[in-house]
């Protein structure tokens, strides 16, 4: 008996910082989406493609839906996350144990109108001392979303992800595969390189640097065995530039070293990475600047 070929899109949604990107990376078995403890690390929808035998699941990692709509960048992120719900075959709604915030409620209000299959992934379930506490919350979630299936998982430790993936596969439509089986994302290598630099900045600077920071790749060129990458980091004010460069350039050097290590693994090549920092005031609230920096509807 031949396996039926299945293929479809799976949106991973939830509030910021609930573990969506970590979940995607563990499902794919490699680091693709950037992660940090800061909310709103993910800014773009990105596809992570997993092909196993007859099943190709195309995961859409979305920015967290959040309440702040003040800036053009925030509006873009909310729009990206909401648009992913429209055209997918399965929705995975990620929540964090029994923690429930206004932003979780915001996502719940969106996903209750989803027509197709809905799976609630209760993340970090392995971290609960008292499992009995989880049951009333699961019960409550089931009452809110009666058509959803609930799966406790740990995105970080890979716990129970096989159950989640099996459920997803069962709901995917019969289809020929849309992508070659060795392709893992729709994003270009330049995009992934820029994201890795941004991740290292967010991890290094945490609370010191607000979100007005983006990365543009100006050169991405393979010469023999070495991949040359030139990245421009844009900030909004001189003070931010000083923080980013650090005492005697120590901080920017550390960011470069950390990013280069990940790039060498991702691109399977020796990497020469050059970083520059430039001030470009107001980019995060300028629709045209955002568009030119790659923040556009996919």
Q: Is 149 exposed, middle or buried (0-12, 13-18, 19+ CB in 10 A)?
A: middle
Rounded CA separation 193/137 (Å): 40
Alpha carbon dihedral 87, 91, 92, 98, in 10-degree steps, equals: 120
Indicate the annotated binding residues: 14-21, 61-65, 123-126
3-state secondary structure of 79: helix
Burial 266-291 (b: 16+ CB within 10 A, else e): bbeeebebebebeebeebbbbeebbe
Q: Which residue, among 101, 136, 74, 127, has the nearest Cα to 14 in the 3D structure?
A: 101
Tokens of 195: 């994201």
Indicate the annotated binding residues for GTP: 14-21, 61-65, 123-126
């Amino acid at each position: 008996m031949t396996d039926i070929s299945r293929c479809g899109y799976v949106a991973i949604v939830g509030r910021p910082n609930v573990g969506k990107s970590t979940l995607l990376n563990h499902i794919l078995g490699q680091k693709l989406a950037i992660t940090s403890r800061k909310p709103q690390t993910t800014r773009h929808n990105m596809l992570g493609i997993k092909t196993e035998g007859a099943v190709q699941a195309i995961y859409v990692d979305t920015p967290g839906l959040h309440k702040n709509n003040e800036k053009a960048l925030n509006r873009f992120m909310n729009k990206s996350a909401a648009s992913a719900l429209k055209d997918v075959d399965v929705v995975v709604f990620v929540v964090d144990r029994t923690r429930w915030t206004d932003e979780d409620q915001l996502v719940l209000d969106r996903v209750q109108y989803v027509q197709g299959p809905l799976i609630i992934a209760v993340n970090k379930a392995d971290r609960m001392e008292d499992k009995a506490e989880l049951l009333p919350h699961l019960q409550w979630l089931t009452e809110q979303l009666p058509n959803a299936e609930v799966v406790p998982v740990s995105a970080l430790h890979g716990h129970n992800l096989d159950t989640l993936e099996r459920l997803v596969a069962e709901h995917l439509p019969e289809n020929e595969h849309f992508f070659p089986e060795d392709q893992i994302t729709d994003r270009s290598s330049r995009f992934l390189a820029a994201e890795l630099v941004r991740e290292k900045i967010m991890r290094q600077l945490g609370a010191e640097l607000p979100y007005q920071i983006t990365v543009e790749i100006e050169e991405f060129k393979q010469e023999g065995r070495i991949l040359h990458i030139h990245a421009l980091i844009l900030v909004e004010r001189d003070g931010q530039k000083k923080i980013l460069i650090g005492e005697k350039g120590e901080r920017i050097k550390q960011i470069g070293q950390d990013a280069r290590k990940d790039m060498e693994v991702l691109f399977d090549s020796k990497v020469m990475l050059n970083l520059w920092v430039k001030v470009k005031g107001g980019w995060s609230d300028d629709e045209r600047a955002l568009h030119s920096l790659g923040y556009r509807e996919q």
